[in-house]
Amino acid sequence: MAQSLDRLKESPSQTAGPYVHIGLTPNFCGIGGVYQSDLGSTMVNDQTKGERIELRIRVLDGTGTPLKDALVEIWQADADGLYNSPSELRGAADPDFLGWGRQPTDMETGVCLFRTIKPGRVPFRDGRPMAPHISLWIVARGINIGLNTRLYFADEDKANAEDPILARIEHRVRVPTLIAERQGDTYVFDIHLQGEKETVFFDS
Amino acid sequence: MTEPGSNRTPETGAFFQRDRQWHPPAFTPGYKSSVLRSPQKALVAFDNTLSELTGPVFGHALVGELDNDLIHNFARPGESAIGERIIVHGRVLDERGKGVPGVLLEFWQANAGGRYRHKKDGYLAPLDPNFGGCGRAVTSEDGGYAFRTVRPGPYPWPNGPNDWRPAHIHFSVFGHGFAQRLITQMYFEGDPLIWRCPIVGGISNKAAIEALIAALDMQSAIPMDALAYKFDIVLRGRRSTLFENGPERN
């Protein structure tokens, strides 16, 4: 026997369930008067620096049916590539941009909309710039542990080609599952949980 | 950005990897909804970058006076929710055993009869006009939190022909990095439904299931007012700076 490492185990995840809205977006599901507004519903104000964009996201199950009870959170850098976080040591991020947003998928259409800004580039661990990207976390009924993925931008071909995380993906045919298509100021991104077009999910 | 109300040095080390044998896997067919909602391809792994090491931090200013009192935060003036009055409290720790201060916890639950205030819940047990079912708190300097609520009832759900969820409270927890983000469920000591539930049963390790069961805590009960349950939550720990000297001094 050796000495104990004396560490705790992380609390095991459980599904967010079909009524996740009660806790995380109560106003969206008709529970008014407890919180002024749903946390994460507004990401930008008039002062926020950067190019305004809209993300139009759907989450699809193994039959291609959009989930109407999913919840998506996004986390991203500001226009200069700085995170609004205590662990960001490279400089102060835009004070008018928290960098975090939360939206449920629409109960009828399954569409989830974020109004945000296009993020700047952030360095990888060795200092090389990563391509502009937004980190996503997806929870829903039937998802036992939150799924992590990234959204990259179709109009950033050159940056995407040198991105160290995209380069990690052995099966190159899967890389396009992480690239959102541009339509005007909107980026369209379908997340396939399962099947032939399955989105790349990360363990990091 | 400095952490609200604190002069702690921010930590920047990478998070310990997740033990995905300990967590439930994506595909747990006893829980039917997971069948079409579970990825079938392997996750792509990489060590944390700044995008995972950083995360939003919400100050105590976010939290209103009644946010951690579910008995009153939806109730009409002078009234309160019906049910077994309880206090739920505990600490948010990381895998190194350190308290995690200044992190947002959100919780939601059914009422005492097992009915959720949600238009998709058609269970015949009635709504309680004085109970909404949501609350939140930000952890104190030592990682502590507490809220007041009523004990939720068990409820039936369309999975197997006669499946009932044990009494539970959903928890959503932020850490200091987006990679620590976690949603889980708290169960109550002694509930015989825990061991029959396909959602709980997605976790294969008995000790992992027990980590989600809150203990009755008579020391924290308020006589003639409320019982208490203690529920600690553990988030991923961080590596300390031993011999790493990348550009971010991780």
**A95-109, B176-190, B205-219, B232-246: range with lowest mean pLDDT:** B232-246
Among residues A159, A89, A94, A173, the alpha carbon closest in space to that of A128 is found at A159
Amino acid at A127: G
Interface test with A, best of B9, B15, B33 (most A CBs within 10 A): B33
Is the distance from CB of B1 to CB of A88 less than 8 angstroms? Answer: yes
pLDDT in tens, A134-158: 999 999 999 999 999 999 999 999 9
Q: What is the DSSP letter of A174?
A: G
For CA atoms B146, A136, B117, B24, the dihedral sign is negative
C-alpha dihedral sign at A41, A45, A48, A50: positive
**Chain A positions in Cβ-Cβ contact with residue B119 (cut-off 8 Å):** 29-30
Q: How confident is the model at residue B241 (pLDDT cuts 50, 70, 90)?
A: low
Phi, psi angles (nearest 5°) of residue B194: -55, -45
Give the mean pLDDT of A172-181: 98
A51 Ramachandran zone, left/alpha/beta (phi>0; psi -120 to 50): beta
Report yes or no: B62 and B138 within 8 Å, Cβ to Cβ.
Answer: yes
Q: Where are the beta strands (DSSP E) in B139-181?
A: 144-150, 155-157, 163-165, 168-173
Q: Which of B10, B19, B178 sits opposite A9 (nearest CB)?
A: B19
Count of positions (residues) in chain B: 250
Decide if A10 and B19 are in contact by the 8 Å CB cutoff: yes
Q: What is the ipTM of this complex?
A: 0.97
Q: Is residue B250 pLDDT above 50, yes or no?
A: no
With a CB-CB cutoff of 8 Å, which residues 134-193 of chain A face chain B? 135, 137, 139-148, 150, 165, 168-169, 174, 193
CA distance B4 to B1: 9
Check: CB of residue A61 under 8 Å from CB of residue B37: yes
Which of chain B's residues have a Cβ under 8 Å away from the Cβ of A10? 16, 18-19, 22-23, 95, 182, 234-236
B178: its two tokens: 């987006």
Q: Which H or E run contains B238? A: none
CA pseudo-torsion sign B200, A30, B107, A74 = positive
- Position B59, amino acid: G
For A79-130, write each residue's pLDDT tens digit.
999 999 999 999 999 999 999 999 999 999 999 999 999 999 999 999 999 9
> What is this structure's pTM?
0.96
Q: Quick check: A149 and A107 in contact, CB under 8 A?
A: no
d(CA B228, CA B215): 9
Helix (H) or strand (E) holding B32: none
Contacts of B55 in chain A (CB under 8 A): 75, 85, 87, 100
CB-based contact B39:A194 (threshold 8 Å): yes
At A160, give phi and psi (nearest 5°): -60, -35
Query: Does residue A192 surpass a pLDDT of 90?
Result: yes
Beta strands in A66-196 (DSSP E): 71-75, 100-104, 112-117, 133-139, 147-153, 179-183, 186-192
- Which tokens is A118 given? 């296009």
- In this prediction, residue B242 has a pLDDT band, given cuts at 50, 70 and 90, of low
Q: Which residues pair with B185 in a beta bridge?
A: B170
Residue B4 has pLDDT above 70, yes or no: no
**Between B7 and A8, the higher pLDDT residue:** A8
Query: B63: how many CB neighbours lie within 10 A of its CB?
Result: 17
- Cβ contacts of A106 within 8 Å, gap of 6 or more: A68, A112
Burial of B121 (0-12, 13-18, 19+ CB in 10 A): middle
Q: Is the pLDDT of residue B122 over 60?
A: yes
Please say whether the beta carbons of A132 and A116 come within 8 A: no
Position A185 scores a pLDDT of 96
